[in-house]
């Protein structure tokens, strides 16, 4: 797999953010799990510029 992010990850990140905005934390949790699964499949990621890291930053910035 290439080192570029999968477009699916960006769609899931958008759904994660929307679920958080709608205060649907149950759905956001599923979206985060999906991002974690996809991220695990990209063993060639070296950058912090990944959809999963963006989701984690969103979580920590809202605390």
- Whether 31 is covered by a domain: the verdict is yes
Question: Which position has the higher pLDDT, 52 or 42?
Answer: 52
> What's the domain count of the chain?
1
Give pLDDT, residue 59.
Answer: 94
Q: How large a percentage of the chain has pLDDT more than 70? A: 84
pLDDT at residue 53, rounded to an integer: 93
Is 57 a member of any domain?
yes
User: What's the pLDDT score for residue 45?
Assistant: 66
Range of the domain at 48: 8-62
Is 23 within a domain? yes
Q: What is the dihedral of CA 59, 13, 23, 61, to 10 degrees?
A: 20
46 occurs within a structural domain: yes
Q: What is the pLDDT of residue 37?
A: 96
In a domain, 28, yes or no: yes
How confident is the model at residue 46, as a pLDDT? 66
13 in Cβ contact with 51 (< 8 Å): yes
């Amino acid at each position: 797999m290439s080192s570029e992010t999968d477009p699916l990850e960006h769609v899931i990140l958008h759904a994660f953010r929307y679920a958080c905005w709608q205060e649907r934390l149950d759905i956001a949790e599923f979206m985060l799990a999906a991002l974690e699964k996809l991220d695990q499949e990209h063993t060639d990621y070296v950058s912090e510029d990944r959809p999963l890291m963006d989701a984690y930053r969103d979580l920590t910035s809202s605390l």
